[in-house]
Chain A
Amino acid sequence: MMLHLLNRSPRSTATYQDLSEAFGADDHLLLIEDACYAAQASASAALEPFGGRVSVLQEDLVSRGLAERIDPSVGVIDMNGFLALTETHERCVSWF
């Protein structure tokens, strides 16, 4: 059970591809920084490989003006939620 931290926009297709190949059945993906763009409803294809186990960081979303454009399958969490994910997942890997 691993937490994957991703900060690249969905234009970085190779990073998303590599991540999808490493993503395990019990893993969770957190989108931060420019990866928030992948949480838009219009970009939902980028998140298909992750089976709905995806969250996005609220303050990075708001700072990019994306708060109203989010795909409903993506959970929105704040910094405390980010920390909580690192508490419940013993290992965290960052993709960049």
Chain B
Amino acid sequence: MLNYALLLHAAPYSHQAALSALRFADTVVANGHRMKTVFFYHDGVHNASALMAPPQDEVHLADGWKRLHQEHGTELLVCVAAGLRRGLLDVSEANRHGAVSHSLEAPFELTGVGQLIDAMLTSDRMITFAP
């Protein structure tokens, strides 16, 4: 069994990369490996939006990531600097910045790039998906 980490740079629905990454993550767990961490960086932070509401007959990417966390314990780490710039704020950041609402909830976590380095060091494989 190998520990996998994914680095996702791409926004949902704009490019194929987010869907490619989710399909790959599903394949990882289906083959008995551990899908340890997904790190959302740059426009990839939009995958973590709690307000995502795609049509019901399309893949719901945020729910797909959440399912990985719920069923396989995958960490869903969102770069805080990339997130704040793009309006991805959890309750505490929304309060701190006086925003009208928050847009990011658990199991997604706002974290720093240090957590990306940690994921690289503690995983057997790191696969990058980008636009």
A residues near B (Cβ < 8 Å) are 5, 7, 32-34, 59-60, 79-80, 82-83, 86-87, 90, 92-94, 96
Contacts and interface: CB of A to CB of B under 8 A. Distances in A.
B17 to A, nearest CB: 7
Interface magnitude class on chain B: 20 to 34
Contacts, number: 44
B130 A94 contact: yes
Contacts of A92: 125-128
Given A92-B125, A92-B126, A83 B24 contact: yes
Nearest to B19: A33
A92 B126 CA distance: 7
Interface of B: 2, 4, 9, 16-17, 20, 23-24, 27-28, 31, 33, 124-131
Contacts of B20: 7, 32-33, 60
Contact of A86 (B9, B125, B129): B125
A40 to B, nearest CB: 18
B2 A80 contact: no
A34 B10 CA distance: 15
Given A80-B27, A86-B125, 12 more contacts: A33-B17, A33-B20, A34-B16, A60-B16, A79-B24, A80-B31, A82-B27, A83-B27, A87-B2, A92-B125, A92-B126, A96-B130
B2 to A, nearest CB: 7
A7 B130 contact: yes
B2 A7 contact: no
